[in-house]
Structure 1
Amino acid sequence: MLILSAAGYSARIAPDAGGTIAALNWEAPDGTVLPLLHAPAELAPQTQTPNKFGAWAMLPFANRAFDSLVDDGHTRFSVPSNNPAGTIHGFGWQSAWRVEEQSAGHTVLVHRRSAGPDPYRYLARQEIRLGADGLIVTLTLTNEADQALPFGMGLHPWFPCAADTRLRMAATGALIFGDQFRATGTQAFADGGPYAGNPVFATGTETAWSFLGWDGTARIETPSTGLAITLSASETLRYPVVWAPAGVDFLCAEPQSHAAGAPSEQIVREASPLARLQPGETLAGWVRIAAEAI
Structure 2
Amino acid sequence: MLTLTAGPLSARIHPEAGGIIAALDWRGRDGRLHKLLHSPDGAVPSTAAPNMMGSWVMAPFANRAFDGIVDDGTTRFSVPDNNPRGGGNIHGFGWQSAWAILGHTAGHTVLEHRRSEGPDPYRYRVKQEIGLDDAGMTVKLAITNEADRVLPYGIGHHPWFPCAADTRLGMTARGALVFGEAFRATGSKPLAEGGPYAGKPVFATGRETAWSFLGWDGTARIETPSTGLAIVLTASKSLRCPVVWAPAGAEFLCIEPQSHAIGSPSEAPARQAAPLKRLQPGETLEGWLRIAPEAI
Quote the offset at 1:74 in angstroms.
1.1
Decide which of 100, 112, 115 is 1:113's aligned counterpart: 115
Quote the offset at 1:85 in angstroms.
1.7
- Asked if structure 2 preserves the Cα contact closer than 8 Å seen for 1:126 and 1:137, the reply is yes
* Code of the aligned partner of 2:275: P
Q: How does 1:1-294 map to 2 (within 5 A)?
A: 1-83=1-83, 84-294=86-296
Q: Distance in 2 between matches of 1:177 and 1:146?
A: 35
Quote the offset at 1:133 in angstroms.
3.3
Quote the offset at 1:185 in angstroms.
1.1
Quote the offset at 1:158 in angstroms.
0.2
Quote the offset at 1:203 in angstroms.
4.0
Quote the offset at 1:219 in angstroms.
0.1
What CA deviation, in whole Å up to 9, does each residue of 1:107-131 have, x standing for no partner? 0000100000000000000000000
What CA deviation, in whole Å up to 9, does each residue of 1:83-105 have, x standing for no partner? 11210000000000001000000
- Asked if structure 2 preserves the Cα contact closer than 8 Å seen for 1:165 and 1:201, the reply is yes
Quote the offset at 1:229 in angstroms.
0.3
- Asked if structure 2 preserves the Cα contact closer than 8 Å seen for 1:203 and 1:244, the reply is no
* Code of the aligned partner of 2:54: G
Q: Distance in 2 between matches of 1:227 and 1:65?
A: 36
Q: Distance in 1 between matches of 2:90 and 2:294?
A: 33
- Asked if structure 2 preserves the Cα contact closer than 8 Å seen for 1:203 and 1:248, the reply is no
- Asked if structure 1 preserves the Cα contact closer than 8 Å seen for 2:219 and 2:232, the reply is yes
Q: Distance in 1 between matches of 2:51 and 2:279?
A: 29
* Code of the aligned partner of 2:132: L
- Asked if structure 1 preserves the Cα contact closer than 8 Å seen for 2:243 and 2:257, the reply is yes
- Asked if structure 2 preserves the Cα contact closer than 8 Å seen for 1:105 and 1:129, the reply is yes
> Which 4+ residue blocks in structure 1 deviate beyond 2 angstroms?
none
* Code of the aligned partner of 2:293: A
Q: Distance in 2 between matches of 1:48 and 1:279?
A: 31
- Determine what percentage of the aligned residue pairs are the same residue: 68
Residue 253 of structure 1: SS of its match in structure 2? strand
Quote the offset at 1:42 in angstroms.
2.0
Residue 194 of structure 2: SS of its match in structure 1? coil
What CA deviation, in whole Å up to 9, does each residue of 1:50-82 have, x standing for no partner? 000000000000000000000111110000001
* Alignment coverage as a number of residue pairs: 294
Residue 44 of structure 2: SS of its match in structure 1? coil
* Code of the aligned partner of 1:170: T
Q: Which runs of 5+ in 2 are unaligned?
A: none
Q: Which runs of 5+ in 1 are unaligned?
A: none
Q: Distance in 2 between matches of 1:203 and 1:116?
A: 42
Q: Distance in 2 between matches of 1:273 and 1:186?
A: 13
- Asked if structure 1 preserves the Cα contact closer than 8 Å seen for 2:204 and 2:249, the reply is no
Task: Please give the TM-score of this superposition, normalised by the length of structure 2.
Answer: 0.99
Task: Please give the TM-score of this superposition, normalised by the length of structure 1.
Answer: 0.99
